[in-house]
Amino acid sequence: MSQRDAVVIGSGIAGMAAAIRLAIQGFRVQVFERNAHPGGKLSLIEKDGFRFDAGPSLFTQPYHLTELFEMAGVPVDSYFRFQNVPLSCKYFFENGKRVHAWTNPEALDREMQEQLGERPGSVIRYLEESKRLYESIGTIFLNHSLHQLGTWLQRSVLNALKVVKWPYLMGTLDQWNRKAFQTDEAVQLFNRFATYNGSNPYQTPGMMSLIPHLELNEGTFYPQGGMISITNALYQLALQKGVEFHFNQPVERILYEKNAIQGVIVQGDTVRADVVVSNADVYFTYQHLLQETVKAKKIIKQERSCSGLIFYWGMNREFPDLHLHNIFFSDSYKEEFQNIFKLGTLHQDPTVYINITSKMEADQAPPGKENWFILVNAPSNQGQDWDVLRKELRARILQKLSRILNTDVEAAIETESFLDPILIESRTGSYMGSLYGTSSNSKMAAFLRHANYSSSYKGLYFCGGSVHPGGGIPLCFKSAKLVGDLVQKDFQKR
């Protein structure tokens, strides 16, 4: 039998993971990428001796990456090393309270009792329930195609659905957390997990209480060399499996005939393929690559996840009070989300996230200095004046950090750059600059996210943060696995 051809549109992490899976299945795989480099949102900024991960900074579930190396028969150590980070985040509250979030339920339970006055055992019970939820319902929703009848007829799926409790679906994450904890700070800390898929804790269902399991039970990890090492490892493994990459070559159209995929058009030339996998945002895939405006319009009816305003500050000194991950909470969290999702603007007291990889590896910044990645959740781009919003936000961040850390933070900034929703869209092709595709703010969001295959065109598949099961590194890897499995099944039949 002659070798079959696959084209992957985009070299985000899901695109590269899908390319590796198809190459292992025996496809001849070509990846076409608009940018000059692989990785999409997971890329690197280097400036004046400082290294900054441009996008994601939190790494959980490393087995999604190591599994690809195992499947390919390549020792993972040759390309990728990572270490466990026992402190997932240091939290700063406006009332002066501070919490070290240990990735150990007993230690975190003690910490929340001592620092917040939380009831003994409440964290342990919460995380046990979070684990149970993830391992029963979560794995069904995340590891299966929700769009195929066969999924719902499996005995394991039917059994898992029996444990679905009413508040998981009908109540919000905030309501779920208020029942679990007695202090406002503990509720706020656990509400924050809604932002891991760009959602609003006051709208997203209680089901999202499964997210803390990934971080606080399973643990957080740091890739040696920073998050960019994930991109580099995938790229090297793909090359080793024979995948061909074409950079600076955007795909212009997806070709089909009688509803069967024929290939793509790149720079006016036709590239034939039996399988096309789009890692580009699903809205742009329909709007531009398939020119199906009706379908594209249906997709944009779903609310987008939040975006972000990001500052990359090279700091001329060290801040011993800070760790790898740090959160400075807003004092009015609910209003902050109302501003982001309802009013399309920023709150005057923003929640500020700071990631500093030089805390883990000194060579991420010049000696004695630190590389600060600062992220504030922002609305997706709806035409706001981002220059004005960014300048106002910068001043508020500096005021907040300087007050809480009791030092002049601005005086320590040596070098600076930024990212906003417009740049996120133009650099990574993410519609409206959203970080995680569509939001999970409705009960039906998981079912409305686009499937990993096309029901109209045989041979067309979708992976990445804008399709099932959603955004964030672990889910992007899962989408690539779903695509790999679907392709294998579809092509075994032929």
Ligand X SMILES: Cc1cc2nc3c(=O)[nH]c(=O)nc-3n(C[C@H](O)[C@H](O)[C@H](O)COP(=O)(O)OP(=O)(O)OC[C@H]3O[C@@H](n4cnc5c(N)ncnc54)[C@H](O)[C@@H]3O)c2cc1C
Residues within the interface to ligand X (CB under 6 A): 9-15, 32-35, 40-42, 55-58, 250-251, 279-280, 308, 310, 375, 424, 428-430, 435-436, 464-465, 471-473, 476
**Distance (Å, whole) CA 453 – CA 396:** 44
If the CB atoms of residues 177 and 428 are measured against ligand X, the closer one turns out to be: 428
Q: Which is nearer to ligand X, 10 or 484 (CB)?
A: 10
For ligand X, the closer of residues 88 and 172 by Cβ is 88
Nearest to 93 by CA among 337, 334, 328: 328
Cα four-point dihedral sign 323, 215, 130, 189:
positive
Spatial separation of the C-alpha atoms in residues 92 and 397, rounded to whole Å:
14
3-state secondary structure at position 425: helix
Nearer to ligand X, 186 or 378 (CB): 378
Q: Which residue is nearest to ligand X (CB)?
A: 12
How many of the other CB atoms lie within 10 Å of CB of 336?
Answer: 21
Angle between helix 122-133 and 105-116 (nearest 10): 140
CA-wise closest residue to 235 among 73, 65, 401, 50: 65
Strand 325-328 relative to strand 87-92: parallel, antiparallel, unpaired? parallel
When the beta carbons of 187 and 378 are compared against ligand X, the nearer one is: 378
Smallest gap from residue 467 Cβ to ligand X (A): 8
Question: Cβ 103 to ligand X, closest distance in Å?
Answer: 15
Q: How far is the CB of 196 from ligand X (least distance, A)?
A: 7
Q: How far is the CB of 238 from ligand X (least distance, A)?
A: 13
In whole angstroms, give the CA distance from residue 429 to residue 79. Answer: 28
Which strands sit side by side in the sheet containing 87-92, from one edge to the other?
98-102, 87-92, 325-328, 352-356, 370-378, 307-315, 413-419
3-state helix, strand, coil in the chain (%, to 5): 45, 20, 35
Q: How far is the CB of 460 from ligand X (least distance, A)?
A: 14
Candidates 463, 32, 11, 429; CA nearest to 251 is: 32
Choose between 136 and 249: whose C-beta lies nearer to ligand X. Answer: 249
CB 42, min distance to ligand X, A: 5
Q: How far is the CB of 464 from ligand X (least distance, A)?
A: 3
Residue among 330 and 479 whose Cβ is closer to ligand X: 479
